[in-house]
Amino acid sequence: MKIPIGISSCLLGEKVRYDGGHKNHSYINGTLSEYFEFKSFCPEIAIGMGVPRKPIRLIQVNEEVQCVGVKDETVNVTEQLDECANSQFAWQNELCGYIFKKDSPSCGMERVKVFINGQPHRKGSGIFAQRTMANLPYLPIEEEGRLGDSRLRENFIQRVYVLSRWRQLNHEGLTLHKFTQFHSQHKLIVMSHHQQDYRALGKLVATASKNNLTQVANQYILDLMLVLKTVATRGNHVNVLQHIQGYLKRALDADDKAELTEVIERYRLGELPLIVPITLLKHHFRKAPDEYISNAYYMNPHPQELKLLNQL
């Protein structure tokens, strides 16, 4: 089944923009549509602004940001957009991610122009997007413009798949065993994002019992998704690769060990993409299987067809 993802309607080619146009995005409608089921929404249409419509922008008034008409600032839709976001919580809470339209005064995630005394400053967020992010702090959220960055793209899609697996786990029925197993399967991924938070999450999981499972699990998914927002670094990936290499110390001969060490070093130096050491590790684990490594998602965080690890 495809993973449910919220999205700004214009990115799917829907003609809902103020000028009657759209912002169809080829990567979203091509590659990602094969894996994601997009739930389109346009808050400006939802509050009755119509198409075409007069454009709006963000302005700062007495330390508060308001969304008003470009030509007529008496037209103020700040409260309507904020209330609109609150009213969408039920279906948004079932999503595994959201893709917003960049620069939009309603849907922009960050660096949206805020006009102060007539001068633009890229420091704002769209009113609808800001409220959505506040209501769903664990939800992976990205803008279509940032998906052009390979590291941000991989980070977003990885988080989507992690949350999708978590939702599936809860749908099947959360138990203490399944909870600890889920963490075990994702430990290496967490380690690649942040070493200290990796240890903190482990301590949190260790406090779980049948009596407090729901409470601990709710805190866990919030903390986990927050950790994963930090983009994994090459250095952390190297640490994880070397950690995984340790599971092969008795299975490899001297030449294989030297080759694997060299490939990981070349990745560290930026000479090879991440997929190369991972492919070599997979090759060795096919010959010398390890249950922990086989169950871990680090080397298979998302469908290989997306080729996300080829660019890291």
Do the Cβ atoms of 22 and 10 come closer than 8 Å? yes
Does 23 share its domain with 143? yes
Does 137 share its domain with 156? no
Report how many domains make up the chain.
Answer: 2
Does 154 share its domain with 114? no
Among candidate residues 129, 147, 165, the one where a domain is terminated: 147
Return the pLDDT at 282. Answer: 96
Q: What is the mean pLDDT of residues 63-74?
A: 94
Q: Would you say residue 83 has pLDDT above 90?
A: yes
Does 85 share its domain with 7? yes
Does 260 share its domain with 297? yes
Three-state SS string over 282-296 comes to HHHHHHCCCHHHHHC
Q: What is the mean pLDDT of residues 153-157?
A: 97
Mean pLDDT of the residues in the chain: 96
Cis amide prior to 301 (ω within 30 degrees): no
Do the Cβ atoms of 135 and 114 come closer than 8 Å? no
Confidence of residue 62 (pLDDT cuts 50, 70, 90): confident
Does 262 share its domain with 164? yes
Its domain, for residue 100, covers 3-147
Does 96 share its domain with 193? no
Does 74 share its domain with 164? no
Does 168 share its domain with 275? yes
Angle between helices 176-193 and 213-229 (to 10 degrees): 20
Helix and strand numbers, DSSP H then E, in the chain: 13, 8
Q: What is the mean pLDDT of residues 113-137?
A: 96
Does 127 share its domain with 180? no
Does 158 share its domain with 298? yes
Q: Would you say residue 1 has pLDDT above 90?
A: no
Return the pLDDT at 258. Answer: 97
In tens, the pLDDT along 91-123 reads 999 999 999 999 999 999 999 999 999 999 999
Residue-wise DSSP of 19-82: TS-----HHHHTTGGGTEEEEEE-HHHHTT--SS---EEEEEETTEEEEEESS-TT-B-HHHHH
| E strand or H helix that includes residue 98 | strand 98-100
Instruction: Give φ, ψ of 168 to 5 degrees.
Output: -65, -40
Return the pLDDT at 195. Answer: 87
Structure tokens at 121: 């400053």
Reported pTM: 0.95
